């Protein structure tokens, strides 16, 4: 009798015992096809051991360097604070590991661009962890827009906020790349670029800077896609809330929980093609329950194993950072800023 072959898997290691990793991403990766989480590292060996034991991860390393030297690791997930993304992504790729790095992939576009050279030189996959891009609600929204289901796409508006003024949180540390725009505004930019399937020519941003932390606690933006507009607000010291509206000449689509889509219940999209303000013509699209972090891990693992393209290549991450840079510039200058300044 033939021995049953084990399906091919990517063996993942994790750099840092971060909250997002232990609470959401690692458990989701452990349920993903083609994926095995085999190691976790911390700057503190005891923390790595404790986390490995709690999550059922076979190996714990007392330094990030030790995990990168582990020959049984094919790819690493990097959930470190933002200012460490580029340096550890570079070191991981140079150690022969593929990389899934948390958003935002860099502090600015210049830093992000250096990763293109790293990827080309090492041949490793490098992907920014915008898990939303794998979620069926966003794929459905894009398909509907592309098929003309809203008529001609004209506008998009988004909101993403939470309330956290803990000075020790990485989001409130300027040197770590904190602030609303980098932490959650990046989703508004990413999804606008995805739905319009284009880059904005110019942007306008306005930020309120927290005097204690020196990071933006409220940023609002307009992205001008040649006469079609995406507007958005992100805030770190207001009530937790998120919503997206996509509006065309003949319809409107609303994403109820666009970013932190729940893994334990279906997502709902609201489609209104009647324009009746009382909502009599509203259709609700209910999507199957899924875990966007699992889908993210499966997609990248499959791409690594099959040598197939990623749905969001590194160039997309660089373009997102270009737009974020322009918004930050605009909030300083008070002017519209072109997204790709002359270099
Ligand atoms: N995709 C998403 O849904 C999502 C959600 C939340 C956050 N994120 C992203 O994930 C990243 C981490 O966020 P988080 O809230 O999980 O952060 P966190 O809980 O503060 O964890 C960051 C980890 O980085 C390590 N680290 C290394 N140097 C550090 C330093 N100088 N200061 C602090 N920590 C340091 C620490 O691990 P050790 O001490 O164990 O080495 C720490 O546990 C950020 O880039 C954030 O934007 C993504």
140 neighbors 272 (Cβ within 8 angstroms): no
In 3D space, the residue among 17, 13, 28, 12 whose CA is nearest the CA of residue 261 turns out to be: 28
Atom of ligand 1 at shortest range from CA of 51: 40
Distance 155 CA to ligand 1 centre (A): 34
Return the SS3 of 84: helix
Distance 304 CA to ligand 1 centre (A): 25
- Domains annotated on the chain, with CATH: 10-129 (3.40.50.720), 134-338 (3.30.360.10)
pLDDT tens readout for residues 102-149: 999 999 999 999 999 999 999 999 999 999 999 999 999 999 999 999
Atom of ligand 1 at shortest range from CA of 17: 40
Probe target for ligand 1 pocket from 24, 46, 49, 79, with the most ligand atoms within 8 Å of CB: 79
Distance 150 CA to ligand 1 centre (A): 39
In 3D space, the residue among 106, 50, 95, 102 whose CA is nearest the CA of residue 80 turns out to be: 102
Query: CA 281, CA 255: separation in Å to the nearest integer?
Result: 17
Probe target for ligand 1 pocket from 45, 80, 171, with the most ligand atoms within 8 Å of CB: 80
Probe target for ligand 1 pocket from 18, 160, 166, with the most ligand atoms within 8 Å of CB: 18
**Strand blocks (E) in the chain:** 10-15, 35-41, 59-61, 75-78, 98-101, 126-128, 153-163, 202-209, 216-225, 228-235, 237-248, 252-255, 268-272, 282-286, 337-338
43 neighbors 63 (Cβ within 8 angstroms): yes
Q: Is the pLDDT confidence value at 2 over 70?
A: no
Distance 102 CA to ligand 1 centre (A): 9
Structure confidence at residue 341 (pLDDT)? 58
Distance 19 CA to ligand 1 centre (A): 6
Q: Is the pLDDT confidence value at 190 over 60?
A: yes
Residue 103 is among the residues annotated as catalytic for this protein = yes
Query: CA 36, CA 195: separation in Å to the nearest integer?
Result: 32
Quickly state the pLDDT bin for 342 (edges 50, 70, 90): very low
Structure confidence at residue 4 (pLDDT)? 65
Q: Which has more confidence, 125 or 342?
A: 125
Ligand 1 pocket, residues with Cβ under 6 angstroms: 16-20, 42-44, 47, 79-82, 84, 102-103, 129, 131, 170, 183
160 neighbors 234 (Cβ within 8 angstroms): yes
pLDDT tens readout for residues 280-318: 989 999 999 999 999 999 999 999 999 999 989 999 999
β-strand partners of 339: none
Least confident of 197-201, 222-226, 272-276: 272-276
């Amino acid at each position: 009798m033939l021995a049953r072959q084990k399906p091919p898997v990517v063996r993942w290691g994790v750099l840092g015992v971060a909250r997002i990793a232990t609470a959401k991403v690692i458990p989701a990766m452990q349920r993903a096809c083609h994926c095995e989480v085999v190691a976790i590292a911390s700057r503190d060996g005891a923390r790595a051991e404790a986390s490995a034991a709690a999550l059922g991860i076979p190996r714990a390393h007392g330094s990030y360097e030790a995990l990168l030297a582990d020959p049984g690791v094919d790819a690493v997930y990097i959930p470190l604070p933002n200012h460490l993304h580029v340096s550890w992504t570079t070191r991981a790729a140079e150690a022969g590991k593929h990389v899934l790095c948390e958003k935002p992939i860099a502090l600015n576009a210049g830093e992000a661009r250096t990763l293109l050279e790293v990827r080309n030189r090492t041949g490793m996959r490098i992907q920014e962890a915008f898990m939303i891009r794998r979620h069926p609600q966003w794929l459905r929204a894009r398909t509907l827009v592309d098929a003309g289901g809203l008529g001609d796409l004209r506008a998009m508006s988004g909101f993403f906020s939470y309330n956290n003024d803990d000075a020790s949180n990485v989001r409130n540390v300027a040197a770590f790349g904190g602030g609303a725009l980098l932490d959650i505004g990046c989703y508004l930019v990413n999804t606008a670029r995805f739905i319009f399937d284009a880059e904005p020519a110019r942007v306008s941003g306005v930020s309120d800077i927290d005097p204690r932390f020196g990071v933006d606690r409220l940023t609002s933006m307009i992205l001008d896609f040649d006469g079609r507009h995406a507007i958005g607000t992100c805030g770190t010291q207001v009530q937790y809330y998120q919503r997206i509206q996509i509006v065309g000449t003949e319809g409107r689509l609303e994403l109820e929980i666009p970013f932190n889509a729940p893994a334990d219940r279906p997502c709902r999209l609201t489609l209104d093609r009647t324009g009746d303000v009382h909502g009599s013509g509203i259709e609700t699209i209910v999507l199957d329950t899924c875990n966007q972090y699992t889908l993210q891990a499966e997609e990248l693992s499959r791409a690594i194993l099959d040598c197939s393209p990623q749905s969001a290549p590194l160039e997309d991450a660089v373009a997102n950072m270009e737009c974020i840079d322009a918004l930050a510039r605009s909030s300083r200058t008070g002017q519209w800023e072109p997204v790709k300044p002359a270099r």
